Amino acid sequence: MKKLAVVLLAAALTVMTGLQASDKYRPGKDFADSLKDTGTGVLENFKPEESIPGYNPNPPESGHYGGVTAGGAGSLESTGAGELINSDVGQLTSEVIMNRPKDPVSMDAPFISNGFEIQDKADTITSGSYDKCETVNVNKTELTTHLCERTPAAELSCTRKAHIGGRFEESWRTEWVEYEMYGQPFQKVNGKIVVTVTPHISGEIVEAYYSWQNNSGNKPRFHMTISVLGTNIAWHQKGNFQNVRFTPVPASLAAGVSFTSSHPDNVRDGSGRLSFRQHVQLKLRLLIKIKTEVWVPSVEWTETCPFDKSEEVLQGSLCTEPGGNRVVAMGGKEYTVYSDCWAWKDTYLNQEADNGSCDVYMKNPACTVLKTECQDKTGGTCLQEQVTFSCEKKLSGEMQLCSGQLVCASGECDALENNKTDSFAKAVSALAAVSAAAQDVSELNDINVRAFTGQKMECRMAIAGFSNCCKDSGWGQGIGLAQCDTEEKALGKAKEKLLTVYVGTYCSKKVLGVCLQKKKAYCQFESKLAQIVQAQGRNAQLGISFGSGKNPECRGITIDELQSLQFDKMDFSNFYSDLDAGTTIPADSELADRVKQQIEAALQQAAGKG
């Protein structure tokens, strides 16, 4: 525990040193006055390439130094447009313009009103040509920075848009075709009558028949063979044959691929000779199974979703293009297609803006946004922000204008010269933090000693069926508390008391790859001092993360880490209200008045004794 005592004592001394800074003001001012005329020589002899790391005397931006007279503004505009699209700063600027509401600027803000006052009193401030001193009213501003968390308005949604598509499906039909060989053009080839037939369709031959009718009477009988479709048919010169079934080889036709039917051009037997001038009267009758394709229309959907929807919870769907019939043409034919809805918008998150701990700064016209950092982003949409505000506070008082210089004759205007107010409150707050750290670890041993340990707390996000149990404010106004459990209610109150640090959001329940519930995780601390030291010290100064939504790291601060913290750099303004509730903390001017009164009383007492 000796090491801890040394650390805390050093921190306390650092804080108290800040209180005594005003004692060193006059020597510092005199030293600064002695250096007023040396700046010009330093600038003339300054060589930036020797002092500034990475100095570039010819940066790429130098091509635009001439403005529009250097060759037109086209290159400058195109370069600027490219940076707006591709650079991180440009994308952040576009996102701010499109999504984030503007932070208000009031004409009553000190940085504006002070400018007008200086303009009106320019003669008084600059008229110091004579030696006589006179009392003047001087106004200055103090700049302070404040860190806070807020929830911006955001919506996560996907779109589904329908269009008419379709596919060709295989279909079959049958068709009878007939080929009459008699009378067809023929050729005599090597003693044969040959007829060539070119089919107009393709398909499988399911059934095949041939027939002929012979009216030759009692002429002698002749026999010969007709070759057709890979089959030999015995032809008789005498007799009738109708619908005789046969099996062709191969059993198919191909459009444009010819087949032949042939037989001898003359036939002899023992009784005589028969010569043919053309093909005999053979008729082929074929049943063809034909393959066809039929186009079948369908409604097809295209989804656009800029985030992983399996990590989000579906809140509801809205039809944005009403349903009905639509007509599409394909292959010269029109098809009518119906859909109940032609476009949907699926909303996974629709959160309202919640100013959270930033509310007091957003309502203060003297505060402006210095930096915004997104703590939780989904698909380019920021869901939780950490904001740094710069606030200005007007300081007013009387000072002496002597020979053109403003002089503070008493301690009551130290705040004007040092540009700081509430120094006493800041010092007391820092000392209170050091004291709290000591008290936090006083009963522990030297093993794993840590201060300001936090607790992991969670709340459920708004899901269809119950209210949002993760609101940052408004818990005293009733937000459906019956739906929130005890831990969530306690967390809501803790956030309003500025006792928490946001860590992250994660999907806590999935079924078949679909997120059904999300949770926000926080580190909750027992006091504002603990929250301030953890958020501004451990996280901001030392860069030690609080983990992730699934695995928050709310551990305490070690002795070595305490030793590295700069308490005088922390913003304890959130703690001032707690100080005021416990005791009366005098303002700097009040302290000066008390000291002045004590000095006067001491002088009067000394005069009475004399």
Give the model confidence (pLDDT) of 127-184 as tens digits.
545 456 777 776 677 788 888 889 999 889 999 999 999 999 888 999 999 999 998 8
Q: Residue 222's pLDDT is what?
A: 75
* Number of H-type helices and E-type strands within the chain: 16, 23
Q: Is residue 307 part of a domain?
A: no
Q: What is the CATH number of the domain that holds 246?
A: 2.60.120
β pairing state of 231-236 and 266-269: unpaired
Does residue 601 form part of some domain? Answer: no
**pLDDT for position 104:** 64
Asked whether residue 370 is assigned to any structural domain, the reply reads: no
CA distance 346 to 312: 11
For the record, the structure tokens of 309 come out as 């929807």
For the chain, the domain total comes to: 1
Does residue 47 lie within any of the structural domains? Answer: no
Quote the domain boundaries for residue 214. 170-265+277-292
The C-alpha atoms of residue 483 and residue 466 are separated, in whole angstroms, by: 6
d(CA 298, CA 295): 10
Closest CA to 527 of 583, 446, 582: 582
16-58, pLDDT tens digit by residue?
Answer: 454 444 444 456 556 656 666 665 666 667 777 777 777 777 7
Distance CA 590, CA 423 (A): 12
Buried b vs exposed e over 452-478: b needs ≥16 C-beta within 10 Å? bbbeebbbbbbbeeebbbbbbbebeee
**Residue 420: what residue type?**
K
Other C-beta atoms lying within 10 Å of the C-beta of residue 151: 23
Q: What's the average model confidence in pLDDT over 542-546?
A: 92
Would you say residue 310 lies in a domain? no
Identify the three-state secondary structure at position 271: coil
From 470, 524, 467, select the one nearest 492 (Cα to Cα): 470
Residue 186 included in any domain: yes
Tell whether 206 is covered by a domain: yes
CA 346 to CA 310: how far, in whole Å?
13
CB neighbours (10 Å) of residue 175? 11
- In the three-class reduction of DSSP (H, G, I as helix; E, B as strand; rest coil), residue 459 is classed as strand
**What one-character-per-residue DSSP string does 508-536 give?**
EEEETTEEEEEEEEEEE-SSHHHHHIIII
Name which of 146, 140, 101, 114 is nearest 391 in CA terms: 146
In a domain, 191, yes or no: yes
Residue 480: name the closest of 507, 497, 462, 493 by CA: 462
Which of 428, 450, 439 is CA-nearest to residue 537?
450
* Amino acid identity, position 425: A
pLDDT in tens, 279-335: 998 999 999 999 988 899 999 999 999 998 888 888 889 999 999 999 999 988 999
Q: Is the peptide bond before 250 cis (omega within 30 degrees of 0)?
A: yes
